[in-house]
Amino acid sequence: MRHGKYRFIVGFLVPPLLLYGIFVLSPYAQTFYIALTDWRGLSAELNFIGLENFAELVRDGAFWNALRHNGLLLVIVPAVTIALALFFASMLNLGGRRGGSAVQGVRGAEFYKVVYFFPQVLSIAVIAILWQFVYNPRSGLLNGVLDVLGLGFLRATWLGDPSLALWAVMAVLVWSGVGFYVVLFNAAIQAIPRDLFEAALLDGAGRLATFRRVTLPLLWDSVQVAFVYLGIIALDAFALVQIMTFGPGGPDDSTMVTGLYLYKNAFEYARFGYATAIGVAMFFLTLSLAVLTLRVTRRERVEY
């Protein structure tokens, strides 16, 4: 019987572990190996070349250029997205002051919640194409609106100007991300007992003080999670750049991100070994970012 029990347990454990091993662990292991080769992806022929790929990576200006763009995204996209989402979420719950109770959202809060969430239901491909139209220099919505507002001098070839293209991409990343975090923070705010905000009001806290001293500290767990998610998105951004920009990654590599550089190395230059090395570098970068974010932002848990 004892023997049968173990067989029973093992019988259940083996299939999932096997699947995990084959489809998750072994690709990782293979990746680490391929990164040490000069495999071109077209034939089974490959030579072990040690850390040569990584040495080349360090000297590769194009890689550093792409990484710099990711760095910029990493600095700006999470911060702006979270700031906007926090602002919207607190206005939706606490911004209103007129008519009825002292602590309530702005008028039409329910409607805005739905509207903010819209971008979230669109696939990234649709979003990219949509914004291509918006950014179109001749018939695009953005330039059209600027004209109507009498701001025609601000017209630009948004995706065609190397100094603007990355910012245009960033704006779309923020636009498509904010809604989800509004919903996330909204739920977190609603979990805070209402009378805390009333107490803050009686203590003399205005909106800003309430936000800074009460709302934000109580939302910190959610903000932390948001930072990690958005950090990972900022280090990727491949799909949006690939579909939306010229080149893609252009003009003049001004929107090149590491994900796209990896893709080009693999599928355009047929340098799978080198591309894999980029992947490995990104793996460690993303991992350390997540650990670092959680470490740096760690605070004592709030208990009610």
Partner 1 sequence: MAQIVLDSVDKVFPGGVTAVDNLSLGINDGEFMVFVGPSGCGKSTALRMIAGLEDISRGAITIGERVVNDLPPKDRDIAMVFQNYALYPHMTVEQNLAFGLQLRKMPKSEIKRRVGEAAKMLGLEQYLGRKPAALSGGQRQRVAMGRAIVREPQAFLMDEPLSNLDAKLRVSMRASLAQLHERLGVTTVYVTHDQIEAMTLGDRVAVLREGKLQQVDTPQNLFDSPVNLFVAGFIGSPAMNFVEAELVREDGPAVAFAGQKLPVPEESITAKEGLDSYFGRRVIVGIRPSDFEDGTLADSGWARMSVTADVTEELGSEINVIFMIDAPPVEHKDTSDLAHDVADEEEAAIPLAGNQSIWTARVNARSRVRPGERINLAVDTRNLHFFDTDSGLAIGHPEAAQVAAAATAEA
Minimum gap (Å) between residue 300 Cβ and partner 1:
8
Nearer to partner 1, 147 or 221 (CB): 221
Among 76, 196, 239, 290, the residue binding partner 1 under the rule CB under 8 A is 196
Minimum gap (Å) between residue 70 Cβ and partner 1:
34
Q: Per-residue b/e over 43-65, b at no fewer than 16 CB within 10 Å? A: eeebeeeeebbeeebeebeebeb
Among 202, 270, 291, 294, the residue binding partner 1 under the rule CB under 8 A is 202
Q: Could you give the string, one character per residue 203-222, with x where binding to partner 1 holds by CB under 8 A and - elsewhere?
A: xxxx--x---xx--xx----
Which amino acid type is present at position 1? M
Distance of CA 193 to the CA centre of its chain: 30
Q: What is the spatial distance between Cα 262 and Cα 161, in angstroms, rounded to a whole number?
A: 23
Q: What is the spatial distance between Cα 226 and Cα 185, in angstroms, rounded to a whole number?
A: 9
Asked if 302 touches partner 1 (CB under 8 A), the answer is: yes
Minimum gap (Å) between residue 216 Cβ and partner 1:
10
Q: What is the spatial distance between Cα 104 and Cα 268, in angstroms, rounded to a whole number?
A: 55
* Cis previous bond, 27, omega within 30: no
Q: Could you give the string, one character per residue 96-115, with x where binding to partner 1 holds by CB under 8 A and - elsewhere?
A: ---xxxxx------------
Nearer to partner 1, 62 or 102 (CB): 102
Please count the residues of this chain forming the interface with partner 1, following the rule CB under 8 A. 26
Backbone angles phi, psi at 37, to 5 degrees: -125, 175
Interface with partner 1 (CB under 8 A): 99-103, 193, 195-196, 198-206, 209, 213-214, 217-218, 300, 302-304
